[in-house]
């Protein structure tokens, strides 16, 4: 053990803590207000999903993928379905692909609303969080219309999707994204995003340079907040994302240094706008009628082989490494999530900052416990 100076104090943040996003625990060594090191202790939400995958047939495993990241379950479903389909050589029909994209982008909006809201809640601004939740209520009812569940969707199936869009879904989705992009985001930004207290709390805090981001394998909005314009939907297009026109927001030191917490926060706000654009385009392009799901063999077996497919989840890239031995169940399934890498950098960033900043850093990196522990 290291020798302690007399002024050091060891604090325990969590696992039950109103600030941390899920069940996380930090062991913080502080010297008064300044932190010396914050060591994360994870594993409280470890459910052994990878071991369960070795026991489940491919289709039956789909509900487990909901719970890898319950705030953006449709995206996780999509990643798993794409992995299995590519290894098995199946393609989903046209309408199913459009429904998948609409669902995925709506889920991205819902997840970013919570991410941004949780960060603001940790910083003391309760009202914007409640406003974001109000918007998410519309998203929840949209999802309920589409697949019957508000949180863990289980909507994507191997070979397509489960249900067709019901009557009224398209109109409601369109009015939702219009309201978000043209009314809600402007009001939200005026209320809190340009508030000088928030800027003081977030700018120049938790600065991650691009080199450091790559070194610690950060992905998703965290990587883009450091200025690297890398988005899997544009750089390694999957599904039908190459048919849509959207931009990749990236951090540029808007109010501070490039790669600080404010940049990551702003990237998420901008991504909501871009997702609204994609949903609108997808709704316009979607065919009226079409198949929802290709038929797959019963029992469903995949030829032996290995594959690594990564898709863009709201919290980063979700990668599935699937090793199949030709049977009904996977031989090995590895799930690589974005929050896992984001946790590793928190320990590095925590040296020499105040305890209050630790909360801002965790919130801006948007870590959720189920993604880390699986």
Partner 1 sequence: MRHNLMETKKLIELLGEKLSSFIVKADKMPNNDLLILIKKESLLSVMDTLKNDLELKFNVLMNHLGVDYTESFAVIYNLYSFKLKKKVTVKAYMEHENPEVDSIESVFKGVNWFERETYDLLGIRFRGHSNLKRLLLPSDWEGHPLRKDYIYPEEYNGLILKREENCK
Partner 2 sequence: MYSLADIIYRRMTETFGASDFLEPLFTIVSYLLPCIAILGIVSLISGALTLLERKISADIQNRIGPNRVGPFGIFQFIVDGVKLLLKEDIIPDAADKKLFRLAPYIVFSSTVLAVIVIPFGGPFIVADLNIGLLFIVVVSSLVVVGFMMSGWASNNKWALLGGIRSAAQIISYEIPVALSLLTVALITGTFSMQEIVKQQGLYPWQWFILHNPFTFIAFFIYFVSSLAEINRLPFDFPEAESELVSGYNTEYSGMRFGFFFVAEFANIFVSAALAAAVFLGGGNIGIDPYNSPLGYKLLMALVFFAKALSLCLVTIWVRWTLPRLRIDHMMSLCWKYFIPISVFCLVLTAAWLVAFKGNGVFWRIAG
Sites of contact with partner 1 (CB under 8 A): 42-43, 46, 48, 50-51, 86-87, 214-217, 230, 235, 305-310, 317, 319, 321, 323, 331-332, 334, 336, 340-341, 343-344, 373-374
Q: Which does 122 bind (CB under 5 to 8 A by kind): partner 1, partner 2, none?
A: partner 2
Residue from the set 3, 5, 18, 284 that interacts with partner 2 by CB under 8 A: 18
Q: Which stretch binds partner 2 (CB under 8 A): 87-95, 115-123, 175-183, 308-316?
A: 115-123
Neighbours of 13 (CB within 10 A): 19
Q: Which does 356 bind (CB under 5 to 8 A by kind): partner 2, partner 1, none?
A: partner 2
Task: Tell me whether residue 33 or residue 215 sits nearer to partner 2 (CB atom).
Answer: 33
Q: Which residues contact 14 (CB under 8 A, 6 or more apart)?
A: 20, 23, 24, 25, 26
Q: Two tokens at 298?
A: 């019963």
Q: DSSP string covering 161-202, please?
A: ESSPPPTTHHHHHHHHHHHIIIIIHHHHIIIIIT-HHHHHHH
Residue 11 touching partner 2 (CB under 8 A): yes
Q: Which does 261 bind (CB under 5 to 8 A by kind): partner 2, partner 1, none?
A: none
Instruction: From 257, 266, 335, select the one nearest 115 (Cα to Cα).
Output: 266
Residue from the set 357, 366, 371, 373 that interacts with partner 2 by CB under 8 A: 357
Residue from the set 19, 60, 178, 258 that interacts with partner 2 by CB under 8 A: 19
Q: Do 347 and 371 meet the contact criterion of CB atoms below 8 Å apart?
A: no
Residue 354 touching partner 2 (CB under 8 A): yes
Residue from the set 25, 108, 201, 293 that interacts with partner 2 by CB under 8 A: 201
Q: What count of residues does the chain have?
A: 374
Residue 198 touching partner 2 (CB under 8 A): yes
- Between CA 280 and CA 277 the distance in angstroms is 5
Residue 9 touching partner 2 (CB under 8 A): yes
Instruction: From 97, 113, 184, 102, select the one nearest 145 (Cα to Cα).
Output: 102
Task: Tell me whether residue 88 or residue 203 sits nearer to partner 1 (CB atom).
Answer: 88
Instruction: From 53, 49, 46, select the one nearest 322 (Cα to Cα).
Output: 53
Residue 257 touching partner 2 (CB under 8 A): no
Residue 190 touching partner 2 (CB under 8 A): no
Q: Which stretch binds partner 2 (CB under 8 A): 11-19, 36-44, 81-89, 207-215?
A: 11-19
Q: Which does 308 bind (CB under 5 to 8 A by kind): partner 2, partner 1, none?
A: partner 1
Which parts of the chain fold into alpha helices (H)? 49-53, 62-66, 73-88, 94-122, 126-147, 169-179, 185-188, 196-202, 210-215, 221-225, 232-235, 261-285, 338-349, 355-365, 369-373
Residue 36 touching partner 2 (CB under 8 A): no
Sheet strand arrangement including 25-31: 9-13, 25-31, 34-41
- Between CA 348 and CA 177 the distance in angstroms is 38
Nearest distance from residue 365's CB to partner 1, in Å?
Answer: 14
- Between CA 168 and CA 162 the distance in angstroms is 18
Q: Which does 50 bind (CB under 5 to 8 A by kind): partner 2, partner 1, none?
A: partner 1
- Between CA 138 and CA 143 the distance in angstroms is 9
Q: Which does 283 bind (CB under 5 to 8 A by kind): partner 2, partner 1, none?
A: none
Nearest distance from residue 192's CB to partner 1, in Å?
Answer: 33
Q: Which residues pair with 313 in a beta bridge?
A: 316
> In the complex, which residues of this chain contact partner 2 (CB under 8 A)?
9, 11, 17-19, 33, 120-127, 130-131, 134, 191-192, 195, 197-198, 200-201, 354-357, 359
């Amino acid at each position: 053990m290291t020798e302690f100076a007399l002024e050091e104090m060891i604090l325990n943040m969590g696992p039950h803590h109103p600030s941390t996003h899920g069940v996380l625990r930090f062991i913080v060594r502080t010297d008064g207000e300044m932190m010396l090191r914050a060591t994360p202790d994870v594993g409280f939400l470890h459910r052994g999903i990878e071991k369960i995958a070795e026991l489940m047939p491919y289709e039956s495993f789909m509900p487990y993928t909901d719970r890898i990241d319950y705030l953006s379950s449709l995206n996780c479903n999509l990643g798993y379905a794409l992995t299995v389909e590519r290894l098995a050589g199946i393609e989903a029909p046209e309408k199913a692909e459009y429904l998948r994209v609409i669902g995925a982008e709506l889920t991205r909006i819902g997840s970013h609303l919570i991410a941004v809201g949780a960060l603001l809640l940790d910083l003391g601004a309760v009202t914007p969080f409640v406003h974001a939740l109000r918007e998410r209520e519309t998203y929840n009812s949209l999802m309920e219309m589409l697949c019957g569940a508000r949180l863990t969707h289980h909507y994507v199936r191997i070979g397509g999707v489960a249900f067709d869009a019901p009557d009224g879904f398209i109109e409601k989705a369109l009015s939702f994204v219009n309201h978000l992009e043209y009314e809600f985001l402007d009001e939200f930004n005026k209320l809190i995003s340009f508030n000088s207290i928030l800027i003081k709390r977030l700018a120049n805090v938790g600065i991650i340079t691009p080199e450091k981001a790559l070194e610690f394998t950060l992905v998703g909005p965290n990587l883009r907040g450091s200025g690297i314009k890398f988005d899997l939907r544009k750089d390694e297009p999957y599904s039908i994302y190459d048919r849509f026109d959207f931009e990749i927001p990236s951090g540029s030191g808007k109010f501070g240094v490039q790669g600080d917490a404010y940049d990551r926060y702003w990237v998420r706000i901008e991504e909501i706008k871009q997702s609204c654009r994609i949903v609108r385009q997808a709704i316009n392009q979607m065919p009226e009628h079409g198949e929802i799901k290709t038929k797959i063999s019963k029992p469903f077996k995949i030829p032996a082989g290995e594959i690594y497919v990564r898709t863009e989840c709201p919290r980063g890239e979700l990668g599935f490494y699937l090793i199949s031995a030709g049977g009904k169940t996977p031989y090995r399934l590895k799930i690589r999530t974005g929050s896992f890498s984001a946790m590793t950098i928190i320990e590095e960033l925590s040296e020499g900052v105040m305890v209050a900043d630790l909360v801002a850093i965790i919130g801006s990196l948007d870590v959720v416990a189920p993604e880390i522990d699986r």
